[in-house]
Chains A and B, each alone.
Chain A
Amino acid sequence: MSWVEFAIFAFGALTALAAIAVVLSRNVIHAALFLVITLGGVGVIFLLVGAEFIGWVQFLVYVGAIVVLLLFGLMLTRAPIGRDATDNQQRLIAFGAAGVTFAVLTWLIWRTFGGEEIALEQPTRTADIGEALFTNFILPFELVSVLLLAALVGAIVLARRDEGRQK
């Protein structure tokens, strides 16, 4: 096993453990911080696999923006801390569902792709991604742009205080 593979395994384990911590943590802030680790770990794996552009986008967007957004949300809503505040009554069912999902997926994966190998050679050139994005995938690109615009406008509309009407 080359050191890349070993690194991938290690960061994978880290990501997994952090993810577990995200969902089991009783402190919401801790959960958010663990999420940072998870997302970071996923980003590192991207890099190691060779998807450099995606990896850095992951860091930028997820870790940089989304987590911050979540933290803001936690703070603005004065999220309480504690077991009763963070977890609900159907933990068992949730565990069951998660377990079944994992079992099925894993069984599927190993049945279908057991023994396949990824060739970790050259990392993907960002220029290639850019080229494909703006030629073959221009339409989804534009649509996603519009989606972002809509989400932006929508979020503003939803979240602002109706000062004009309330007074």
Chain B
Amino acid sequence: MVAALFAAQETHAVAEGTANAVTNAAWLIPAIPAVTLVLIWLFGKRLPRGGSEIGIVGMLGAVVLSAVVLADFIGGGGPTVEKAVEWFPFGRGLALELGMRIDGLTAVMFVVVTVVSLMVQIYSTGYMHGDSRFTWFFTALNLFTFSMLLLVISNNLLQLLIGWELVGVCSYLLIGFWWEEKENSNAAIKAFVTTKTGDIPFVIGIFVLFAAAGTFNIGEILSLTEEGAIGTITLTAGAILLFGGAVGKSAQFPLHVWLPDAMAGPTPVSALIHAATMVTAGVFLVARMFPVFEHSEAAMNVVAIIGAITMLMAALLALVQDDIKKVLAYSTVSQLAYMIAALGVGAGNAAVFHLFAHAWFKALLFLGAGSVIHAVHANNMSEMGGLRKKMPTTYWTFLLGSLALAGIPPLAGFWSKDEIVAEAYHFGTHAEEAVGAPVVALIVFGVALMSAFLTALYMSRAVHLTFEGTYRGNGHPHESPRNMTTPLIILAVLAVIGGFVGLPGVQSGFGAWTAVGGHTHVPSANLLVMVISIAIAVGGIALGRKLYLPAPATDPVERLGWFHTLLVNKYYLDDFYYKGIVYPIRDSISKAMYWVNQNVLDGAVNGSAAAARARARGLYNVVDQKVIDGAVNGAGMTARGSGGLLKYVQSGNVQRYAAIMFVGIALFAFLFTRF
């Protein structure tokens, strides 16, 4: 199979333009973590650094390869390379393919996943130092990276689904890494079950598209969609069902509830999986299948509305959190909603650009939070404060990340967020270019601006509560070691310069690279929108500084009263899920099912066994004992009885015998005379 992949076995249409050698062999990129995870698992414990050496070196190689692949797509107009081997034939001409589809989107995702994974692995050598399951941690990290790359590289929906499910499993394993605490394993289960709930419509959607297109291959589905060979209703259904998976995986409303709880896992895990990679899989899916969405106005509207709702809702929730990781978690949900909303209004390239930029600064923020947590041994911001002087590197990198997130130019977050907002405004005001309803785009525009304000506000709150003022905790915080601060610095640099690849109006920029849905146009700058965005961001930061600079005794947010309570209880959504769904199933339905199983099913089985036994017993008693034995015994008894009767013939009286003989002879003689 490996040789076949090398031997350029192309089962689908190939390149427009020439790809370099690495791009043609881009399947090596997922192969590297696949190999390293096995090596770490087998040999990690014996190595001096617990296997992390293998992981880091391997991931470094993957980063280099990803950069070479990306080189093919820089400047736009890159080829789409597709290769596949038939892996598992289903019969009737169908087969599970193992294939790769390399285009600009794939290349960008490669870079994001491998770089963040590398940064996290370097960071983990410091953060997880001394943990008893250090080697397993690295094995799981590499397993996750492999799964994510497998998902991204897929050329067909089934392989994508395999990668999708695998990242879900890795998420479960890594969230519950410290499973000795019950709440950690609960969080892992909650994450798994919630994303699985989203996977149900996802799988149905895959099969809807399969039924319509006759194939699982993404390229063919997309080209059939472009040709109009699939009906709009089918496309709407398929798109919305696929989006269900994205809602689960990317933690959008109403399946966002798992992401805050997932913060129970180690912080490097939060940085890798729940900021930059796994949660972006939903965005990636929609971007990959963008033509399917674009051809259905209803689906686009659904996507946009969900994005808008989540965006605002999560930002509000981030405002009332005390745990620094939970702030970042809700922030992630909100930023993912930006990407989803961008996709919903038709700005696919903007969404992926924001994914790209967000990966850098969110990973940076998480790792920075981890550094703080590692130093003060607490998650809650109420126990922090005044760390600015004690942890300068962490402080400056964290600050840069926050500014990027808030959208201050010229940092990466500004360019990407601004593109989304501008596009939403553009589609809202130019109805003829909008794919979804223009009013939806305008709603997205408005909500995005509100969320931007809130984003700036809660990040400003977080920064001030954590680093400014005086230290409120009980520990002795100090700066983290170099293996933890180095990734922070690298990511900070990326957060600063990362946005320059997608400057508005530059047609050879990021949008041309990714070409989501085939669109390569990079929108030009809308100065008005830019100014409004900057003003909102600055305003949010200023308000945060005013409210939280000397850390107040009571959080001003609490002055919102009932609204504050609503937010603290997460809109009672978790309560609804637990009391409305989980407990009834666990307490009533499960018990009822158990009763059915024990009494009805087992009863049926036992009953049929008992019936068979009774039948056998009856058969034995009646048929065997009475009938058959009766026949046999009866034969014997008949013989004896008839013998008993016949014996009287033997009278012993010879004359009697003679008499009978004579009578017989006479009769015979008579008969002979007759005949």
Seen from chain A, the residues whose Cβ lies within 8 Å of a Cβ on chain B are 88, 90, 93-94, 96-97, 100-101, 104, 107-108
From B662, B670, B673, A97 is in contact (CB under 8 Å) with B662
Evaluate contact between A96 and B663: CB separation under 8 angstroms.
Answer: yes
With A90-B656, A97-B659, A100-B663 given, can you name 15 additional A-B contacts, CB distance below 8 Å? A90-B655, A93-B659, A93-B663, A94-B659, A96-B663, A97-B662, A97-B666, A100-B666, A101-B662, A104-B666, A104-B669, A104-B670, A104-B673, A108-B669, A108-B673
Residue of A nearest to B664 (CB): A97
CB < 8 Å A-B pair total: 25
How far apart are A143's CB and chain B's nearest CB, in angstroms?
27
From B655, B663, B667, A88 is in contact (CB under 8 Å) with B655
Which residues 639-675 of B sit at the A interface, judged by CB distance below 8 A? Answer: 655-656, 659, 662-663, 666-667, 669-670, 673
- CB contacts (< 8 Å) of A100 on chain B: these are 663, 666-667, 670
Most chain-A CB neighbours within 10 Å: which of B656, B663, B666, B670?
B666
Evaluate contact between A97 and B669: CB separation under 8 angstroms.
Answer: no
Residue of B nearest to A102 (CB): B666
Considering the chains assembled together, what is the distance between the CA atoms of A107 and B656 in angstroms? 26
- CB contacts (< 8 Å) of B655 on chain A: these are 88, 90
Residue of B nearest to A111 (CB): B673
Evaluate contact between A107 and B673: CB separation under 8 angstroms.
Answer: yes
Considering the chains assembled together, what is the distance between the CA atoms of A129 and B252 in angstroms? 144
How far apart are A67's CB and chain B's nearest CB, in angstroms?
22
Residue of B nearest to A107 (CB): B673
How far apart are A138's CB and chain B's nearest CB, in angstroms?
34
How big is the B interface, by class? 10 to 19
- CB contacts (< 8 Å) of B669 on chain A: these are 104, 108
Evaluate contact between B659 and A90: CB separation under 8 angstroms.
Answer: yes
- CB contacts (< 8 Å) of A107 on chain B: these are 673
Name the prevailing secondary structure of the B interface residues.
helix
Evaluate contact between A97 and B656: CB separation under 8 angstroms.
Answer: no
Considering the chains assembled together, what is the distance between the CA atoms of A96 and B660 in angstroms? 11
Considering the chains assembled together, what is the distance between the CA atoms of A96 and B656 in angstroms? 13
Residue of A nearest to B663 (CB): A97
Residue of B nearest to A93 (CB): B659
Considering the chains assembled together, what is the distance between the CA atoms of A148 and B581 in angstroms? 122
How far apart are A55's CB and chain B's nearest CB, in angstroms?
30
- CB contacts (< 8 Å) of A101 on chain B: these are 662, 666
What would be 18 A-B contacts, judged by CB atoms less than 8 Å apart?
A88-B655, A90-B655, A90-B656, A93-B659, A94-B659, A97-B659, A97-B666, A100-B663, A100-B666, A101-B662, A101-B666, A104-B666, A104-B669, A104-B670, A104-B673, A107-B673, A108-B669, A108-B673
Residue of A nearest to B666 (CB): A100
Considering the chains assembled together, what is the distance between the CA atoms of A96 and B662 in angstroms? 10
Which residues 612-662 of B sit at the A interface, judged by CB distance below 8 A? Answer: 655-656, 659, 662
Considering the chains assembled together, what is the distance between the CA atoms of A77 and B656 in angstroms? 23
Considering the chains assembled together, what is the distance between the CA atoms of A19 and B294 in angstroms? 139
Considering the chains assembled together, what is the distance between the CA atoms of A96 and B663 in angstroms? 8
- CB contacts (< 8 Å) of A104 on chain B: these are 666, 669-670, 673
Considering the chains assembled together, what is the distance between the CA atoms of A86 and B527 in angstroms? 159
- CB contacts (< 8 Å) of A90 on chain B: these are 655-656, 659
- CB contacts (< 8 Å) of B663 on chain A: these are 93, 96-97, 100
- CB contacts (< 8 Å) of B656 on chain A: these are 90
Considering the chains assembled together, what is the distance between the CA atoms of A104 and B656 in angstroms? 21
Considering the chains assembled together, what is the distance between the CA atoms of A90 and B666 in angstroms? 17
Considering the chains assembled together, what is the distance between the CA atoms of A93 and B664 in angstroms? 12
Q: Mark B216-240, 1 if CB is under 8 A from A, else 0.
A: 0000000000000000000000000
Considering the chains assembled together, what is the distance between the CA atoms of A100 and B663 in angstroms? 8
How far apart are B84's CB and chain A's nearest CB, in angstroms?
110
- CB contacts (< 8 Å) of A88 on chain B: these are 655
Considering the chains assembled together, what is the distance between the CA atoms of A44 and B669 in angstroms? 31
